[in-house]
Amino acid sequence: MPPLSRNPEEPIVTQDAIIVPRRRSVRTIEVDEELMLDIRELVREKALPALWNILVDLHAADVADIVDHLEGVDREFVFNLLDVSVASEVLLELDPGVRQGLLEILPQDKIAALVKQLNSDDATDIVAELPPETAEKVLRAMPEEESADVQKLLRYAEDTAGGIMATEFVAVRRDETLKKAMREVRAHAKRNITIHNVYVVDVDGVLVGSIPLQELVLQSPNRRVHKVMDPDVKSVRTNIDQEEVANVFRKYDLLSLAVVDEKGSLVGRITIDDIVDVIEEEHTEDVARMVGSDVEELERRSPRQIAFLRLPWVLITLGMEFIAGVVVHFYDKTLGQVILLASFMPIISAISGNTGLQSAAIVIRALSAGYVSVEQWWKPVSRQLQTTSIIGGVCGIVLALIGAAWHGKWEFGLVVGVSMFVSVNLSGFIGTVVPIISKRYGFDPAITAGPFETAFQDVLGITIFLTLATLMLSWIA
């Protein structure tokens, strides 16, 4: 079928595909239901030029949003319309489940073409998602140098600095001139590689300094690199956990960070866009673990696997709540004397448990971000106790007034008010201390702050309440 358009700014349409010219600009769009209705209609009619006019200048994230909203053959059809350079960007922006589905149906040569367009860190992420046999064939189809970079990165754990770094960086010897460094920058810029710093190495490749890009532009091109470099260059080892890498970025407000091996040789760099993904991933992982779940369960696990993943935590919680039942049974006599006590038990239990979980969540994020250290554990404990004292005091006074008015005796109000105050403060203390202790002994704080801790705080709140109530009854008697 001959081309439908001869204008160089218009698409060339063939029977099976649409070949688009280079993007003129990049624009954003709101992907709403009205737009998706139009796109689905155009896909059904195979209206290629109209689809091209919508997609050609869109930001990759918006195109990915459109592809995410499509289903089955429509999704595959629209994705195959994209130019390979655009499609590679879109592939990274897709929802993980959608990307996995596309990778399962795309031809191996198409996957290889897409991967070749990506930086080494992104290419490694895509290859890691492929079945081993497909990954091996894709790597063989890539240029030898790029394939070697990806294979090298695949050897690192995915949650370490080595696992998230890219091997594309600009490095010059310390005895070179700035003119040579500028030539290296231009060469990398032509490959669409974002550059923030030029790294300086010695004859053995060991990292010894860096030159910010603006400094490179301002200095005379004939000056030697070692005369203008900053020797205090920040770097991390390849085996450092990605959460610690994120803390370095936050502490020093970095845009990129060098990665070195055990000998100090420069092997890669990490950029801020990778760290944004890490922060989101770590936060999602912490929240999932706090409820005894798994961050990837909806994407990769079957209902049976999810059930067995959650079941241990549910059984632990069941056991702890059974202890609460035993405590209540132990105080049957007290509850029989003042049946109204039963109405206040769930209130005290819920508020104290919620306060403890809030304290745990705050401390876990502070530990992850580096705001709290295990060595200075008393600082977060002191701050949380000050906070919970105010919360417990206010809630205790409110509950005391309600209890006194409801029962008609101020002693009853005093018991429920004091119980609320003590329970909230003890729960806040436990919620703060347990994650710190877990971190100290090498456990994941997010796991220990889950259902187990909440159930423990329920038992604690009920025990304190009924014990004080028993003492009150003895006092009144």
Domains of the chain: 12-158 (1.25.60.10), 171-271 (3.10.580.10), 297-476 (1.10.357.20)
pLDDT score of 4 more than 50: no
Q: What is the pLDDT of residue 443?
A: 64
Mean pLDDT of the chain: 81
> Got the DSSP string for 137-190?
HHHHHS-HHHHHHHHHHHTS-TTBHHHH-BS---EEETTSBHHHHHHHHHHHHT
Q: In terms of DSSP H, where are the helices of 10-83? A: 33-45, 48-55, 60-69, 72-81
pLDDT score of 300 more than 80: no
Can you give the pTM of this predicted structure? Answer: 0.61
Q: Read off the pLDDT band of 454 (50, 70, 90).
A: low
Sort strands 18-19 and 235-237 into parallel, antiparallel or unpaired.
unpaired
3-state SS class at 196? coil
Taking only the tens place, the pLDDT of each residue in 237-282 is 999 988 889 888 888 889 899 999 999 999 999 998 888 878 777 6
- Residue 318 amino acid letter: L
Q: What is the pLDDT of residue 40?
A: 92
User: Which helix (H) or strand (E) is 136 found in, with range?
Assistant: helix 132-141
pLDDT above 90 coverage of the chain, percent: 26
**162, 268 Cβ separation under 8 angstroms:** yes
Report the C-alpha gap between 316 and 256 in whole angstroms: 44
pLDDT score of 8 more than 60: no
Taking residues 199-215, what's their average pLDDT? 92
| Residue 421 backbone phi and psi in degrees, to 5 | -60, -50
Q: In terms of DSSP H, where are the helices of 376-450? A: 378-407, 410-440, 445-448
- Residue 105 amino acid letter: I
pLDDT score of 17 more than 70: no
The residues, ordered by sequence, that sit 6+ positions from 40 with a Cβ below 8 Å of its Cβ are 70, 74
Burial 420-448 (b: 16+ CB within 10 A, else e): bbbbbbbbbbbbbbbbbebbeeeeebbbb
Report the C-alpha gap between 106 and 415 in whole angstroms: 68
Q: Read off the pLDDT band of 434 (50, 70, 90).
A: confident
User: Regarding predicted confidence, which is higher, 30 or 156?
Assistant: 156
Q: Read off the pLDDT band of 329 (50, 70, 90).
A: confident
Taking residues 340-347, what's their average pLDDT? 77
pLDDT score of 461 more than 90: no
Taking only the tens place, the pLDDT of each residue in 55-72 is 888 888 999 999 999 988
pLDDT score of 436 more than 80: yes
**247, 369 Cβ separation under 8 angstroms:** yes
3-state SS class at 260? strand
Q: What is the pLDDT of residue 447?
A: 58
pLDDT score of 468 more than 80: no
Taking only the tens place, the pLDDT of each residue in 89-126 is 999 999 888 898 899 889 888 998 899 889 898 999 89
3-state SS class at 16? coil
